Structure formats: structure tokens, C-alpha cells
Amino acid sequence: MLDLLLFSNSTNANRSYLDHARDEVAQFLEGVTEVIFVPYALQDHDTYTAKVAEALAAHGMSTRGLHTFDSPEYELAEAHAVFVGGGNTFRLVSQLHRQGLMDPLRTAALSGTRYMGASAGTNIASPTLRTTNDMPIVEPPSFSTLGLVPFQINPHYLDAVPGSTHAGETRETRLSEFLEENDVPVLGLREGAHLRVTGTAGEPNFTAMVGGTAVTPGLGPAITFLKGTLPRETAGDISALFEVPARFDAGLSGPGQDGPVL
């Protein structure tokens, strides 16, 4: 049973933290009095937690940082809602693995604990961090992440700018390179967009919806990449992506060390 709210970004230009998603956050966390915040994607955990606490206080709830607890595994098991903030995905994944918290966080989310993520916190809802945009400032023990969804997500998806003189790789190029080595769908979430998932895949109550308003005028909330096909604009129901088989390291014999065959 999943209850996920995954944002591409936590802050739109000229808006305060989570302000662009005020309605979605309020609806998702309705009835929750305390949120456990996972601040490991940034270095200063206390300052980061205070920033999130200020934003969520506007919704009438308190926030406590996971780093403040003597038994974070227990707190994850008891939490009604968890929010994993953005920052550097490699640092976040490294900390979760090294502190033994990746499995407890996965177990909580799969058991129905409300899971909210932004940027790096959305990245790790995928099976691996391989489609992050972040620089590998640290080396995590594994690229494996939560696998709450069976496909990859690329938050902050940026479209090529028409007429730009930039001659380097575009985001589309980089994700196409990923698909040269892997046969796994990739959902590119544009700034301002989110993915909402409820229920259990394959059951009648299951929903997976892409929504929000992209900050770039004229563009939809998301774009989907599938191996061997052109990227397609995406909005609304994406439940079909939960039925697409995923093969990591598809050109090699057997599953890759950091990506399970799903």
C-alpha cells in the first residue's frame, strides 16, 4: 500500500519553500500532527530541519529531524508521515545506507506511511539513483535506493532551449544514454510538477497521477522516456508505467549490482 507525493522541486522562483505546492501538501498531510523529516541531502541538518518546520507549521503540524532521534529506525516504523528533502542525492543515499536506514525507510513507505519527497527525496523513490542530476560528491556503498516505484524519475527535468548556443549534453541526451545501457522507463518531472501515488499496483484502488503546473509556459508537467521510442509528453494517469518490466544493465548477463531486475 503506497501513499506517495513526489515533487520535482521544493521551491519555485520568487516563492517560499513549498509554497507552490501548498494545496497538495495540505491535502496529502491532512490529519497528520507530526512529520519526520530526513535532512541528509544537505550538510547542516539542524538548519534544514528548521526551514522545513517553518513551512509545515503553516499547515498546523510539527516537524522533527530524523537525525535527532536515538533510535531512528523505531521512529520511521512509528511515523505517520515522512518527508525526505532535496539536496545532493549521492550524499542522501550514502547516509541512508551507512546508517542502515534505507531498509527501514522502504519498509515504512511500503506499509502505508505517507512518504513525501522533493528533488533528491523523489530520486530515491526509484530503484536506483542513476538518473539524478547531482554531482557524486561522495561515494555511497550502493546506488540502490527505495524502489517504491519500478521506474526511474528525473526531477528538475530541463528542456533544451531553442536557439541556445550551448553545445554540451542536454538532459534528453543524458537520459538517452541511460537507456542505451538500461531498459527502464524514465519519468522526467519538470519544475513545478509532482507525482501522486496511492494504493497497490494492480489492484482496483490504485492510482498514479502526474500533476502540477510546469514553470515553463506551454509545457506539460512531465515527459516519459522508453527505450527505442521517442520521448512523449506526459500528464495525468501513468499507472501503466508500473506494469512495464525494468531491466538494469540490459546489455550485460544477469542483473546489475546496483539495479535489480524488477
Per-residue model confidence as pLDDT tens digits over 179-235: 999 999 999 999 999 999 999 998 999 999 999 999 988 899 999 999 999 999 999
Is 248 part of any domain? Answer: no
The pLDDT, as a whole number, for residue 96 is: 98
Q: How confident is the model at residue 239 (pLDDT cuts 50, 70, 90)?
A: very high
The pLDDT, as a whole number, for residue 159 is: 85
Average pLDDT over residues 231-250: 95
pTM above 0.85, yes or no: yes
Question: In 3-state terms, what secondary structure has residue 194?
Answer: strand
pLDDT in tens, 154-171: 999 988 777 777 767 889
| Structural domain span for residue 114 | 2-243
Average pLDDT over residues 241-260: 70
Q: Which of 115, 146, 108 has its CA nearest to residue 128?
A: 146
Cβ atoms of residues 148 and 115 within 8 Å: yes
Q: How confident is the model at residue 253 (pLDDT cuts 50, 70, 90)?
A: very low
**Which whole-number Å values give the CA distances from 210 to 13, 66, 68, 89, 213, in the listed order?**
21, 28, 33, 22, 10
Residue 260, Cβ neighbours under 10 Å: how many?
Answer: 15
Please list the active-site residues: 119, 134, 156
Q: How confident is the model at residue 252 (pLDDT cuts 50, 70, 90)?
A: low
Rounded to whole angstroms, the Cα distance separating 10 from 153 reads 15
Rounded to whole angstroms, the Cα distance separating 49 from 36 reads 10
pLDDT in tens, 43-84: 999 999 999 999 999 999 999 999 999 999 999 999 999 999
The pLDDT, as a whole number, for residue 250 is: 79
29-33, 118-122, 233-237, 252-256: range with lowest mean pLDDT: 252-256
Amino acid at 212: G
Q: How confident is the model at residue 251 (pLDDT cuts 50, 70, 90)?
A: low
Is 249 part of any domain? Answer: no
Is 253 part of any domain? Answer: no
The pLDDT, as a whole number, for residue 167 is: 61
Give me the percent of the chain exceeding a pLDDT of 90.
86
Report how many domains make up the chain: 1
All three cell numbers of 88: 545532493
Assign residue 153 the CATH number of its domain. 3.40.50.880
Is 252 part of any domain? Answer: no
The pLDDT, as a whole number, for residue 163 is: 72
Name the strand (E) or helix (H) holding 92: helix 89-98
Is 251 part of any domain? Answer: no
Question: For strand 2-7 and strand 114-118, is the pairing parallel, antiparallel, or unpaired?
Answer: parallel
